[in-house]
Amino acid sequence: MKPHELERYAEMIVRGCIAFRRGDTLLQMVNFAHRELAVALARAAYRAGAAVVDVEYDDARIYAARIEHGSKAALGNQSAWQKARWRALGAKDLALVQVMGEYELDVQSSLSPERVAEDSQRRQARNSSVTKARREGRLRGTICAWPTDEWAARVYPGLDAAKAKRKLARDLLWFCRLGPDDPPGHRGWTGHLATLRRRATRLTKLDLKELHVRDRGTDLRLHIAPYSMWRGGGEQDYWGRPIAMNVPTEECFISPDAAATEGTFRCSRPRSFGGRVIENLAGEFRGGRLVRLKAKREADRDWLARYLAAIPNADRLGEIALVDTSSRIGQTGLIYYNGLLDENAAAHMAFGSGFAKTRTVPIGRRRHGVNRSKTHIDVMIGTDALDADGITQAGKRVPLVAGGEWAI
């Protein structure tokens, strides 16, 4: 990004996504290829009156070393200072920014799926305070993206590194309503969030009992449990501050009743996961469980199947999200090989954990159909031919998305 674009992007994240205020602490989770954005975010946060800006750099090779050579006790283990940092994430004056953008992902492709799953489950179990903070709305954070050489080369393979990163950077700015034709500052972004929130409110008011999603190779029926609520366009945290958890975002989503999904699906986009690009993923659900799975490459199918089998309830759905052809990400016609962007290019579903915030009452011990798992993997199932109908409590069928476009 050019200097003024980078400054605008960082200001939008700090002020338009995490409601940063004077005296707050900012924690960034980045990798080495994200340093330029990390510095810009630090500058924006200190201009906003930050007390402290801290950065945690992730290293894919250190992670791979733990999975490959660590003892069983080392999987998911954390130092005392890491535990203290995670416990602090629910504090009122702490905000989190996590940056995505592929860097050295190839080192993960040969790792054992069972050990990757074990490491992930143990880390989540030991960070139960984070799960509780997220459930209670005290986790004030966002996930954003930054162009890297590796990622840009995958999206724009015919260009040299500098030109590819420039095009990817311009894409990100446009997706976030920060393009040259968008309103000044980040007003385009906040206006877009408001549109998504209004749509989610309308979906909730329909009081649906079932969602029927159809597309090329997909025919899914999902039960919507009582006390369910659609979400989209960000939310308010425990203290009433507006936050946006994903940057960019185009979705309206809900957690279906995990025990009642029926039908077939075929993914419309590849999914980058575990250092692999999994193509042509397809399968079937019966009684809420995944009973069949296939992919273009048998090795990718087997890796994902073993990973899902190693985590309880990873074979159930935790989310269904509707995205139509108005998505700026989808309009490019490109595959971004990045979960954050691709899930906002098309309708998608997620294996694994659901969201407590999609219920109008505290879920407590009664989950009200929200899946509980130690993973969450979004896969894209929508195209410009998507049809999604809601069935109301009275049995009336209401078109929600018709021919790829919102019908409400």
Strand segments (E) across 162-260: 208-215, 218-223, 235-236, 242-243, 252-254
**What are residue 263's DSSP bridge partners?**
220, 285
**What is the number of structural domains in the chain?**
2
Q: Is residue 226 domain-shared with residue 170, that is, in the same domain?
A: no
For residue 70, the enclosing domain spans 3-175
All residue ranges of the chain with pLDDT < 50 are none
Residue 366: its pLDDT value, please?
Answer: 67
Q: Which of 114, 145, 175 corresponds to the end of one domain?
A: 175
Round to whole Å and give the CA distance between 176 and 329: 10
Task: Give a yes or no: residue 181 inside a domain.
Answer: no
pLDDT at residue 106, as a whole number: 83
Give the span between the Cα atoms of 255 and 355, in whole angstroms: 6
In contact, 75 and 66? CB cutoff 8 Å: yes
pLDDT given for residue 301 in this prediction: 96
Q: What is the predicted pLDDT for the residue at 25?
A: 97
For the entire predicted model, the pTM comes to: 0.93
Decide if 193 contacts 210 (C-beta within 8 A).
Answer: no
Question: Are 149 and 237 part of one and the same domain?
Answer: no
Closest alpha carbon to 196 in 142, 258, 248, 122: 248
Let me know: does 195 contact 233? Beta carbons within 8 Å: yes
Under DSSP, the state recorded for 119 is H
Coil vs helix vs strand at 43: helix
Query: What is the total residue count of the chain?
Result: 408
Residue at 282: amino acid letter: A
Classify residue 375: in a domain, yes or no: yes
Same-domain pairing of 169 and 211: no
